[in-house]
Structure 1
Amino acid sequence: MTTIAQTPQPATPAAQPGERLSGVQTITFAKALTLAMADAMAADPAVVVFGEDVGTLGGVFRVTDGLTQQFGEERCFDTPLAESGIIGMATGMAINGMRPVVEMQFDAFAYPAFEQITSHVAKLGNRTRGQVRLPLVIRIPYAGGIGGVEHHCDSSEAYYVHTPGLTVLTPSTVADAYVMLRDAIASADPVVFLEPKKLYFSKDTVDLDALRAGYSEGGGAAAPSTIGHAAIARHGTDATLIAYGPSVAVALAAAETAAQEGRSLQVIDVRSLVPFDDETITAAVKSTGRAIVIAEAPGFASMASEIVARIQERCFHALAAPVLRVTGFDIPYPAPKLEKYYLPGVDRILDAVDNLQWETP
């Protein structure tokens, strides 16, 4: 088992196994994910959860805490330390009518399973002309901000978004953590679900009954899915900040600071990396004429690069300045004491805003 030193524990309402939180509650991001899995498992006996240390321990970040006690070892269980075996087993289970939700423990720990994901999980639907579907969710805690060493802080989204056949999602709010994971589990196709580690113990107040109302008794989505849909996190008129996952909160902080200086910045939360919501992003950029894409991953050949390209293709005549990026540097993830220099912060974002050619030639 791998652990992170001084990992904080979630301060959420204590619930006994089988007890169901309801109504308006202040919960953590991690607890929202736990409730999403518990509700999906209660609604559909085909949903199973497994991975390294997810059972007795409840996961390194305690995201699966209580699921084994509530549903038994046949529904939530530990596996050997073999990521390729986890994905291989999940693929076979999905082929045979189950809905596995597997955890990769840390972002870079998923690399031993990469061949299984790209060669089989992503391609099986196309290989069988749609006759075989894989309702499989691969949960990956990803990105930095926790003071972890390399192999624990990778932003690996580019590998998955580049692979046709995979849906790739990453929530940034407590409410979206619940809803987007429920949507992922309800999907008939494989989903890579990227969970920003530094958000696990962030808290917000949500109406759990309202969130659950979007799903049928059998676990299917009764409301429009979040898959393929970005969200407007903040309205603004001067420029558009486009972010996802762990970078959304940083973009919002930058927009708040800019507002104190008299500049109005719009913030878009991409949420669904694949399929990508061109309509929302295009409309947002056209409304301001300026855009900056923010992401923790290195900028070269990245998701941020793809977003910039799509904006340039669709908004060229509406742009008042080139689209800029604020990303991690093109280096391996640094040591914990140096990550504050690596990660995009408010100052770097505001510097980029200042470079959006505001003065008329």
Structure 2
Amino acid sequence: MAQGSSQPARRAGAHRVVVIVDENSNPFELGCATEVFGLRRPEVGRELYDFRLCSPEPSVVMRDGFFTLTGVTGLEAADAADTLIVPNRPDVAVPRRPAVLDAVRRAHARGARLLGFCSGAFTLAEAGVLDGRRAAVHWQWADSFRARFPAVRLEPDVLFVDDGDVLTAAGSAAALDLGLHVVRRDHGAEVANSVSRRLVFAAHRDGGQRQFVERPVPDLPDESLAPVLAWAQERLDAPLTVADLAARAAVSPATLHRRFRRQLGTTPLAWLTGERLTLACRLIEQGESRFAVVARLSGLGTAANLRALMRRGTGITPSAYRRRFGPGTG
């Protein structure tokens, strides 16, 4: 499978995302990166990223010899990356080649953002850029990772970890969660929602959600949370409480809490707050400049509460969010 040796010239001002592909890399995570960062987005009205692949060799055999990429640009492309996605591999005991680790270290030293999907956390840790920092890894490899890299602050039961300029996703599907999180961080909630709709994927799963959620066959056919979630999403501006959600689902608050934990890996209150925060971000992006109105329409109550939750959820204040993602800033 040929990537093609001629790549388009870099668009002026575009944020460049570069993926290092190494021997035995997983095709799924490469596909996730391509889907999120590599496709043109005419529905958004602008190109979001300049996307490249690179490799230590011009020909790369993917996992288990499924197919081969040819005509791949050399590792020098990593030196121009604003965001560098590091390679993963199913055999985490095999170390990465020194040239790849050196490319990761150079990118980190000059301030590039680093992303590791699934076992990509092992690549980041081998390069030494995770020492003393938080990271996520697939639950299957948590013990092995902790034993090999004790200096890393592993969070073994979350979907992904955003530690500023180094971000890690726990498993294959969590790569999509982390990718959409990065799009949301770079371009706002409205653009991230547009990308997720095209992917037909959940617009927002918080990184702190559990990786592995037991989903036993329910005793009753009506235990799905979908109806109550849809009902609540249409009423986020109302003073909804967990008790209201439980009443709508015709269960006790304790039962609702157990179902949220079992089916979504989070609590009803955390889900409700996350949905309201996403709505608040979208209102700001659409031009609502009165933060008291944003807080009221999103169900967050007061402008002070909006400020506190936005700082916790996005890392910036509502005013900074408006400057970054408001009308006319795309």
TM-based fold match above 0.5: no
TM-score (norm 1): 0.33
Structure with greater strand share of residues: 1
TM-score (norm 2): 0.35
Structure with higher Rg: it is 2
Structure with greater helix share of residues: 2
